[in-house]
Amino acid sequence: MKIVNKTFYKRHSIELGRFLVSENSLHIINENSKNKIEDDISDKIYLNPENLDYNQIEFSDIYDTIIFTDIIESGTDIYRLLQLAKENLSDSGKLIVTSLNTKYIHISNFLEFLNLKNKNIKQSYVASKKISNIASGVGFEYINTISKQIIPFSMFGLGTILNIILELILFRFILGIRTYTIFRNNESKKIEKSKSIIIPAKNEEGNLPQLVKRIPKFDNCEILIVCGDSTDNTLTTSENIKKEYPDFNITVLEQSGTGKANAVWEALRETSGDVIAILDADISVEPETLTQFFEIIDNNYADFVNGSRLIYQMEADAMRSINKFGNRLFQFLISQVTRTQLTDSLCGTKVFKRDLIEKIFWWQKTFGLKDPFGDFDLIFTASFTGQKISEYPINYKARTYGKTQISRFRDGLKLIRYFLKSFMVFNTSRSKY
């Protein structure tokens, strides 16, 4: 039984699609794999690692994503290859290094000896951790490592099914034959970006005046208050606030749908800032902390900043015990699937770069996934597309006006269903952004 290279590389081509954050991407491929890879990336460079002149590699553009396939392990100068990639990546651009999992070196050699596998050219088999150490010296920031294809055989179609099952069961382990190591071009120069602050508000007339008053004054910033179907005077209060603070560039929107997530999605379509912040109207998160959230993005330390309520001691009555349990459970599950170290998945305060907006709508349209609050949509989309995620610890306060809009059990069941669907997407998706 021969390994069907066509099948193996077809799966590889599909997996690459999740990392393409824009159409401006480059795929650098080992010349020996030229006829095995079929993808939608328009710009490609084929290299012969056995006879490689690094000075003659020409790049036609500055790219948002560069992908290496069968290059790093075959190259004679890994540092130079990484350096060339960095020189031709945009700020915060992503480098995806694909390589053979070093756990399978001896198995691969044995299969070649038995003539069950096509022989590879001489390779260095650099582990993802070692690649990370080298890449950090070039100026890359490590984001994540995932692995795919535990069984590389076609087996008349059964190989694909078995891969899906095994990847679901063993999703916490790096057991796939091919690893995907994700890096971000780490340019730490501070750039003040334009900002948009989204405030979903339903029955929050008692909180909004104080909230807006406490929001720091940022240059080139807009505030969008999205008023839901309230039983109090939230809409009128918002209009009065807009008149009271003409220098704050406030826009008041009347939500056409229902729910917090819908309010956020409607507001996203109206934003113009380079950086987007979502801030709950109940003042449970101090609005002054937006300064620190924005600073992380402006310094290019992250693409996505998630607020965490579960690091510091929170005020009494700020969160019920069953909510704390649910939050910690979802935090654990999400961290395992996305391979991130998040401590809080449901905090309403999140700040992210503008280019995530298009990805969110793509995520929802492609996979039919929407959660009632939008938190999972944001986190899963950021992780799925290889964004650099950071956390900021906040002092969580009890609300002083109104009551929570969350139904613990009904919304909890919705989140469980959402998580299960997302779990499948992360492990079986064949779609491309």
Domain boundaries, the chain: 5-185, 195-428
**CA-CA distance, 68 to 32, in Å (whole number)?**
13
**Superfamily the domain 5-185 falls into:** Vaccinia Virus protein VP39 (3.40.50.150)
68-to-21, 169, 397, 433 alpha-carbon distances in Å: 16, 28, 47, 18
Q: Is the pLDDT of residue 238 over 90?
A: yes
Would you place residue 348 in the very low, low, confident or very high pLDDT band (cuts 50, 70, 90)? confident
Q: What is the mean pLDDT of residues 294-306?
A: 89
**What is the pLDDT at residue 3?**
46
Residues with Cβ within 8 Å of 157's Cβ and at least 6 positions away in sequence, in order, are none
Which structure tokens are listed for 45?
Answer: 């460079």
356 or 416: which carries more pLDDT confidence? 356
CB 215 within 8 A of CB 290: yes
Tens digits of per-residue pLDDT, 78-109?
778 888 999 999 988 999 998 777 776 667 67
**What is the pLDDT at residue 76?**
63
CATH architecture of 195-428: Alpha-Beta Complex (3.90)
Tens digits of per-residue pLDDT, 11-67?
787 778 777 767 789 998 888 777 777 777 888 888 887 777 777 788 889 999 999
DSSP three-state, residue 173? coil
Least Cα distance to 349 among 269, 406, 284 occurs for: 284
Least Cα distance to 431 among 369, 373, 374, 372 occurs for: 369
**What is the pLDDT at residue 252?**
97
**What is the pLDDT at residue 202?**
93
80 or 252: which carries more pLDDT confidence? 252
251 or 428: which carries more pLDDT confidence? 251
Q: Would you give the distance in Å from CA 222 to the centre of its chain?
A: 25
Would you place residue 171 in the very low, low, confident or very high pLDDT band (cuts 50, 70, 90)? low
Would you place residue 325 in the very low, low, confident or very high pLDDT band (cuts 50, 70, 90)? confident
Q: Is the pLDDT of residue 347 over 60?
A: yes
Tens digits of per-residue pLDDT, 176-219?
778 888 999 887 677 889 999 999 999 999 999 999 999 999 99
**What is the pLDDT at residue 21?**
67
How does the average pLDDT of the chain come out, rounded?
Answer: 81
Would you place residue 5 in the very low, low, confident or very high pLDDT band (cuts 50, 70, 90)? low
**CA-CA distance, 175 to 54, in Å (whole number)?**
33
pTM above 0.75, yes or no: no
**CA-CA distance, 37 to 8, in Å (whole number)?**
9
Would you place residue 431 in the very low, low, confident or very high pLDDT band (cuts 50, 70, 90)? very low
Q: What is the mean pLDDT of residues 156-167?
A: 74
Would you place residue 2 in the very low, low, confident or very high pLDDT band (cuts 50, 70, 90)? very low
**What is the pLDDT at residue 272?**
95
**What is the pLDDT at residue 402?**
61
**What is the pLDDT at residue 32?**
78
334 or 85: which carries more pLDDT confidence? 85
Least confident of 4-8, 259-263, 328-332, 424-428: 4-8
353 or 168: which carries more pLDDT confidence? 353
**What is the pLDDT at residue 389?**
87
Which structure tokens are listed for 90?
Answer: 């945009």
Which structure tokens are listed for 203?
Answer: 């029955």
**What is the pLDDT at residue 4?**
44
